[in-house]
């Protein structure tokens, strides 16, 4: 167990970070959340505020322009932002965990020196191009290709559901692409191409803008309306051979590591949602009167909120545990899957119950619980569906 497994034993610097982000979420994020959600507008002014606070550089070393913190610090920030606005929280999560972290984990020194200071500053966003139309959970079924030609990669294909990929400050998209084939025995990837071979999948850095790269029109989503999400197309996109990120043929395996880490971050965001719903319900249940008394005096309401609080508490413990294992260098794949499963379901369940507590008002978009109700479903899908988490947990248990 870690010294920070409980909120009661968090070291002072973690507590101060959480308080700082909590104050920012309440004073800066919350007042504009409904407007950005309604207008489907990207919150550039909020992102600039997070950049000024150094949130995009939290887990990166100071030598690369970061804050010298760790992944748990990022998770604490995501939890606080998730309490009030999931779109803002996922913008930070994707920008750090998916946009910059692959460069930090697998980039060479030149790539780190070029990209990490820019991404850590928050002045630019990076995106993570993995998912394709025919392969969501089956990410190894990549069809996007990259072929070498006179010292350059020529990339053709498309990606789907890519966060932070079409903003005015998007400067980098890391994409997985098929760069060849390997024999069945030696391949790292699992998607067969026939003839006893497997796809060799690599990851490549694509600066934005680059000729042939297009962020297609944004999706019309159920939730996360202030988050930037686009399909991407690559039409003979030409980038230097040295833009290969990590070893050739290790792109799929490396991205799986990124997803393992990202599940802890999504769990933290989900805990924020679950706790945010509790906080809103407690406040409302004290103020709203029915039949001559505050509705919180009714056991039906009080017990519902008590169950919501329990879900948030348990979910928080799971992501604290997964983060502690990760930071200590111990295997954390199962713990990350458990955290993501428990926390995303807690967020969805609490959002549904909060809507019920608020009654008709809970169905009005002006209330945070209504936005959480629309936003939370994707938490059970993105960065590995609930079914994927169950598969991983069963596999790690020896089944």
Sketch out the chain's domains with CATH numbers.
Answer: 7-125 (1.10.540.10), 126-249 (2.40.110.10), 254-396 (1.20.140.10)
> Annotated catalytic sites, by residue?
383
Which pLDDT belongs to residue 189?
A: 34
* 45 alpha carbon, distance to own chain's centre: 20
Cα–Cα distance, 230 to 209 (Å, whole number): 15
DSSP output for 3-69? TTSSGGG--HHHHHHHHHHHHHIIIIIHHHHHHHHHHT---HHHHHHHHHHTGGGTTS-GGGT--S-
Which of 120, 139, 11 has its CA nearest to residue 67? 120
Burial 259-289 (b: 16+ CB within 10 A, else e): bbbbbbbbbbbbbbbbbbbbbbbbebbeebe
pLDDT tens-digit series, residues 24-57: 999 999 999 999 999 999 999 999 999 999 999 9
What is the predicted pLDDT for the residue at 289?
93
Which of 161, 163, 383 has its CA nearest to residue 266? 383
Within a 13 Å sphere around the CA of 107, how many CA atoms are in the beta-carbon half?
Answer: 19
Query: What sign results for the dihedral spanned by CA atoms 10, 12, 16, 19?
Result: positive
Q: For residue range 300-350, list pLDDT tens digits in order.
A: 999 999 999 999 999 999 999 999 999 999 999 999 999 999 999 999 999
Intervals of the chain under pLDDT 70 = 1-8, 135-137, 139, 184-196
Q: Which two tokens stand for residue 240?
A: 């230097």
**CA 120 to each of CA 66, 87, 100, 104: distance values in angstroms, whole numbers, following the listed order:** 6, 19, 8, 11
Tokens representing 218 are: 């944004």
User: What is residue 190's predicted lDDT score, i.e. its pLDDT?
Assistant: 39
- Residue 97 is predicted with a pLDDT of 96
Residue 184, SS3? coil
Q: Within 10 A of 387 (CB to CB), how many other CB atoms are there?
A: 12
HEC readout, 222-265:
CCCCCCCEEEEEEEEEEEEHHHEECCCCCHHHHHHHHHHHHHHH
Residue 134 is predicted with a pLDDT of 77
| Residues in Cβ contact with 383 at an 8 Å cutoff, skipping those fewer than 6 apart | 259, 262, 263, 266, 340
Number of Cβ atoms within 10 Å of the Cβ of 352: 17
Q: Quick one: pLDDT at residue 3?
A: 54
pLDDT reported for residue 7: 65
The full DSSP string for 151-167 is TEEEEEEEEEEEETSSS
């Amino acid at each position: 167990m870690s010294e920070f497994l409980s909120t009661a034993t968090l070291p002072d610097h973690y507590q101060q970070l959480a308080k700082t982000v909590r104050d920012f979420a309440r004073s800066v994020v919350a007042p504009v959340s409904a407007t950005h959600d309604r207008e489907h507008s990207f919150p550039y002014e909020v992102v600039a505020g997070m950049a000024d606070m150094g949130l995009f550089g939290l887990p990166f070393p100071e030598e690369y322009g970061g804050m010298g913190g760790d992944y748990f610090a990022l998770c604490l920030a995501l939890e606080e932002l998730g309490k009030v606005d999931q779109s803002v929280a996922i913008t930070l999560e994707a920008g750090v965990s998916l946009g910059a972290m692959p460069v930090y984990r697998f980039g060479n020194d030149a790539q780190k020196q070029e990209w990490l200071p820019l991404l850590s500053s928050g002045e630019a966003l990076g995106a993570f191009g993995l998912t394709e139309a025919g392969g969501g959970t089956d990410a190894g079924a990549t069809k996007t290709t990259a072929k070498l030609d006179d010292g350059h990669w020529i990339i053709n294909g498309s990606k789907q559901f890519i966060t932070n990929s079409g903003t005015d400050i998007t400067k980098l998209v890391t994409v997985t692409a098929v760069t060849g084939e390997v024999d069945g025995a030696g391949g790292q990837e699992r998607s067969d191409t026939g003839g006893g071979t497997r796809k060799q999948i690599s990851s490549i850095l694509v600066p934005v803008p680059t000729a042939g790269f297009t962020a297609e029109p944004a999706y019309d989503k159920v939730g996360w309306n202030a988050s930037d999400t686009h399909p991407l197309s690559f039409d003979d996109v030409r980038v230097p051979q040295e833009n290969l990120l990590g070893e050739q043929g290790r792109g799929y395996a490396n991205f799986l590591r990124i997803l393992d880490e990202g599940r802890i971050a999504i769990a933290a965001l989900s805990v924020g949602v679950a706790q945010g719903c509790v906080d809103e319900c407690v406040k409302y249940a004290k103020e709203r009167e029915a039949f001559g008394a505050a509705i919180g005096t009714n056991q039906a309401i009080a017990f519902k909120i008590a169950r919501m609080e329990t879900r948030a508490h348990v979910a928080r413990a799971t992501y604290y545990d997964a983060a502690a294992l990760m930071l200590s260098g111990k295997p954390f794949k199962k713990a990350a899957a458990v955290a993501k499963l428990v926390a995303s379901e807690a967020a969805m369940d609490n959002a549904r119950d909060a809507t019920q507590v608020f009654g008709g008002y809970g169905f009005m978009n002006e209330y945070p619980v209504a936005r959480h109700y629309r936003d939370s479903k994707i938490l059970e899908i993105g960065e590995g569906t609930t079914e994927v988490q169950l598969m991983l947990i069963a596999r790690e248990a020896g089944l």
